[in-house]
Amino acid sequence: MTQILSSALKAIILAGFCSAAARAAEIDVTVGGPGVLKFSPDSVTANVGDVVRFTFMQKNHTATQSTLASPCSPIENGFDSGFVPVANTTTSGFPVAELTISDTNPIWVYCKQANHCQQGMVFAVNPGDKLAQFQAAATGNTTATASSGSSAASAASGVVTVTATVTVSGGQVLTTTYATTAATASSTSTTTTDHKVTVGGTGGLLTYSPANITANVGDTVTFEFHQKNHTVTASSFASPCQALSGGFNSGFMPVTTDAQTFPTYTVQVNDTKPIWAYCAQTGHCAQGMVFAINADETSANTFEAFKAKAMSNSTSTSSSSGAASSSTGSASGANGATGLKLRGSGAVAVIFAIVLGCLL
């Protein structure tokens, strides 16, 4: 009798799971596209168990979880697809990130590419009547990854800004700014210099060349990305291989071996404090792929010390594999999401579902 009841109970539970799985919906959302900076649609209503499918189109975008209060800043422990670069020539096999909904609370999402959030590239699941508020807060922000503050407060605390501009294929220029604390800000020089830095190259080069430069206030540093898939990502001397909160980040720049033209990313220097950076590609920072502007060679925080500290790290904080169509990424979920699984041509997708019992 006990075995019969146990079997019946298992059957009821399994039937419930199968029924829920059968009712789960797949909701398609398009991210970007030629000349498009938006999620389409910009909001959806989803039930528990539904799957939101983000299909990444042309350019280089993310689907990054944020909050209603800070639309353009990542939430701690939230999901993040990472940058998903897609070439203009891609016509099929677009990368897909799948987000499984675990409750019906609102989920807020933005693209963390330079200045995209401020131009309204945000998305929400189950926003209720808060979507307009979320969108307004996003377009009212001044930085993509740091909370905005009043100019008076910034001046009092000695906060100055570094401005980064990105020129992507097609000539589109994207701009973002981030705050950096300085005891005093030097005046801008009347003459400025553009410093060219080559990133990567043929033969598997894992270098910035030159890797250590001196720049004046007002100078620009233009990073030209060569073969493979690299980034230039702001970090700190204490944590060379971890992205600096609110710092600049080029995103991954995949370049084919036969490329004749190369993407660039330009940073304008607004003070003479040291600026530290690294490549966020898997293992590159730990192999010494780091960069510095105005490292203080008279102190303990020299460029060589920064590089040595980086090489003592085993991993960097973000990664992306070779070509645009084979990017992979995942993160633990928060606030109603069980995790984001990124799929693309050549990538292995891990999708969790209760299916086996329904088929047996």
What average pLDDT does this structure show over 166-195? 46
Domain boundaries, the chain: 19-144+328-359, 154-311
**What is the structure's pLDDT at 176?**
42
The model's pTM is 0.45
Asked if residue 77 has pLDDT above 50, the reply is yes
Residue 324 tokens read as 């645009």
**Residue 320 pLDDT greater than 50, yes or no:** no
Mean pLDDT of 64-86: 87
> Over the chain, what is the mean pLDDT?
74
| Higher pLDDT among residues 110 and 24, named by residue | 110
Which of 8-17, 151-160, 294-303 bottoms out in mean pLDDT, i.e. has the lowest? Answer: 151-160
Whether the pLDDT of residue 43 is over 80: the answer is yes
Same fold, 19-144+328-359 and 154-311: yes
Model pLDDT, residue 319: 38
Q: Which of 42-56, 154-168, 224-238, 301-315 has the lowest mean pLDDT?
A: 154-168
CATH code of 154-311, in short, is: 2.60.40.420
Q: Which CATH number fits domain 19-144+328-359: 3.40.1110.10, 2.60.40.420, 3.40.50.300, 3.90.1150.10?
A: 2.60.40.420
